[in-house]
Amino acid sequence: MHRFVLLPALGCLCLAMSVAHAQETAREVYQWKDAKGVTHYSQTPPAKGSYQQRSIRQTGVAAPTTTAAAEAATAVENPQCVVAKRNIAALDSDRPVGQDADGDGQPDTTMTDAQRASQRTLAEAAVKAYCTTP
């Protein structure tokens, strides 16, 4: 009876030890300063000059990586992206879209269908340029 309890327990202990051993890693890096006083780190020593060899140890499991959805939720959206998306929404609506021709901040004319299509093409290009997710 003890054999049936001892064998699984021993197996779990061996597994836990192998996982713990696999999680501890050490990495050798080299640290040096160049002629301008800038500190550099590399896996290979510099071609000439003095350097210090450093050992970086990491134990435990790696930090969880964030998903694209979580990054998108926490990321601040580019203001130019926001404007481009708003322009597309306005151009796609059924409402008339005014255009400020003289630069006084007030719409002077209403866009034609051809002008709306042209401005929508420009807004789509802005979305591609400024937005991380369309």
Q: Is the pTM of this model over 0.85?
A: no
- Residue with the bigger pLDDT between 37 and 86: it is 86
**pLDDT confidence of residue 24:** 53
> Tens of pLDDT along 59-87?
655 555 555 555 555 556 788 888 899 99
Q: Residue 81 and residue 131: Cα distance in Å, rounded?
A: 5
Q: Give me the long-range contacts of 60-65 (CB less than 8 A, separation at least 24).
A: 60/23, 61/23
Domain boundaries, the chain: 28-56, 78-130
Rg of the chain on CA atoms, in Å: 30
Average pLDDT, the chain: 74
